[in-house]
Amino acid sequence: MTHDTLTGGFTEAPQQSARAFRALMNALARPGSIEKITGASGPAPLSVAAATTLLTLCDGETPIHLAGDHDTDAIRQWIAFHIGAPIASRSEAMFALGTWQALTPITDFPIGTPEYPDRSATLIVEMDALSNIGATLRGPGIQTSAQLSLPETTAFQQNRLLFPMGVDCYFTSGTRIAALPRAIKVEAN
């Protein structure tokens, strides 16, 4: 176990996790909004936003899939020490972390069932940047429309057709996070 494995967790867990949870819920309730989220830092290439999201939403019973460059020994050890979560295959994951290219096709992840749509995966998509320019979003939590720099639109349009099943997504970049719930209609610009 390296020193990096032991560092990067919450230093004031009750306060930091509460602030992070609020940012995560605000992003989910207001699709297209970009929130600042801090509190944790993990080994590269894990962003502060992604590390904080994992520490806030995952526990020892949350199977996590690591994709592409995020599947490293350092990140696996960091998750084991700080969260205790098992590393899982795509088909068994409740959370998945990686770049868009590493996570696609998203149809490989659990989408829930008609009886239990909540048994679907949540993807944490690491991005180079997040902005309110790009695809147009419409639906619950959006007054008229919002825009978000999504990596593509087709996969999210197909995901919405599965509603109430489908995956939910968080997009992270540095200390910024945005969310795209499965119920949101995505239109290319």
Give the torsion through C-alpha atoms of 9, 62, 124, 70, to 10 deg. 70
- CATH number (domain holding residue 168): 3.40.50.11310
pLDDT at site 3: 47
Q: Can you list the residues of the chain whose pLDDT is less than 50?
A: 3
Q: Which residues pair with 178 in a beta bridge?
A: 171
pLDDT tens-digit series, residues 146-163: 999 999 999 999 999 999
Q: Are strands 168-173 and 146-148 parallel, antiparallel or unpaired?
A: unpaired
pTM of the model as a whole: 0.96
pLDDT at site 1: 57
> Which residues have C-beta within 8 Å of that of residue 161, sequence separation ≥ 6?
none
pLDDT at site 14: 86
pLDDT at site 5: 72
If one counts the domains in the chain, the total is 1
The DSSP string of 110-154 is -B--SS-TTSB-EEEEE-S---S-SEEEESTT-SS-EEE--S-SH
pLDDT at site 27: 98
pLDDT at site 8: 81
Q: 50: part of which helix (H) or strand (E)?
A: helix 48-57
Q: Are strands 168-173 and 122-126 parallel, antiparallel or unpaired?
A: parallel
d(CA 23, CA 120): 21
Domain carrying residue 80:
3-187
